[in-house]
Structure 1
Amino acid sequence: MSGVNPIDRAVAVAGSQSSLSRILCCTPQNVQRMCSTGHVPTKHVLKIEAATGVSRHELRPDIYPDHSPTLSANVRPTSLPGKSTAGAVNPSSAAQTAP
Structure 2
Amino acid sequence: MNGLEAAIKVAKNQRQLAKLIGTWPQTVNRWVIRYKGVVPADWILPIYRATGVTPHELRPDLHPTPTSGLPSESQNNAANV
Q: TM-score, normalised by structure 2?
A: 0.70
Determine if the alignment matches structure 1 residue 49 to structure 2 residue 48. Answer: yes
Correspondent of 1:6 among 3, 9, 34:
3
Question: Is 1:16 aligned with 2:13?
Answer: yes
Structural RMSD (CA): 1.8
Question: Structure 1 counterpart of 2:64, which letter?
Answer: P
Query: Against the structure 1 CA distance between its residues 26 and 66, is the aligned structure 2 distance closer, same or farther, given a 3 Å change threshold?
Result: same
Name the structure 2 match of 1:58: 57
Size of the alignment, in residue pairs?
Answer: 66
Identity over the aligned pairs, expressed in percent? 39
Runs of 4+ displaced beyond 4 Å: none
Please report how far the alpha carbon of residue 68 of structure 1 lies from its aligned counterpart in structure 2 after TM superposition: 6.6
Whose radius of gyration is greater, 1 or 2? 1
User: Taking CA–CA contacts closer than 8 Å with sequence separation of 6 or more, which of the two structures ends up with the larger relative contact order?
Assistant: 2
More helix by share: 2
Return closer, same or farther for 1:68/1:17 CA change in 2, 3 Å cut-off.
closer
| 1:81 alignment partner in structure 2 | none
* TM-score (ref. length: structure 1): 0.59
Q: Matched residues in 2 for 1:38 and 1:56: separation?
A: 13
